[in-house]
Amino acid sequence: MPERRTAPRKNFSFYMRVLDDDTQEILGHMVEVSAVGLRLETVGPLPLNKDYYLRLELTPDLGNLPYIVFIARSKWCKIDEIQPNLYRVGFQIVEIMQEDREVFLRILMKFGS
């Protein structure tokens, strides 16, 4: 399958939980991030092409709010090849407020490697 990403991605070196803001359930944690999307590691598969209100909980050094919320669409979902009890799910950011985008980019620069 040809690579369709246009933004460089970075591995994520910090454990950051990602919650479904509607249900307050933990969806997973971030393992890869780019300026336009992210990849989560989850314990179950997620439906494709679904829009989620994702909540990232922040540390005080990342922003003056406890979290940011943005809309992201699930684009793909695969069983992890090394740990088959986990899933890898790719998301594309669909909508994010400008001040939250600035925080998201700070997260990318600080923890992306």
Q: Return the CATH number at 45.
A: 2.40.10.220
57's enclosing H/E stretch is strand 51-57
Is 1 inside a domain boundary? no
Angstrom distance (rounded) from CA 85 to CA 100: 32
| 3-class SS letters over 22-55 | CCCCEEEEEEEECCCEEEEEECCCCCCCCEEEEE
Q: Could you tell me if residue 67 is inside a domain?
A: yes
Answer whether residue 112 shows pLDDT above 80: no
Rounded CA-CA distance 105/113 in Å is: 13
Least confident range from 39-53, 76-90, 98-112: namely 98-112
| Structural domain contains residue 3 | no
Mean pLDDT, residues 97-109 taken together: 89
Q: How confident is the model at residue 11 (pLDDT cuts 50, 70, 90)?
A: low
| pLDDT at position 14 | 67
pLDDT at 9 over 80: no
Task: Flag whether 26 is in a domain.
Answer: yes
On the question of pLDDT at 30 being above 60, the answer is yes
Q: How many domains does the chain have?
A: 1
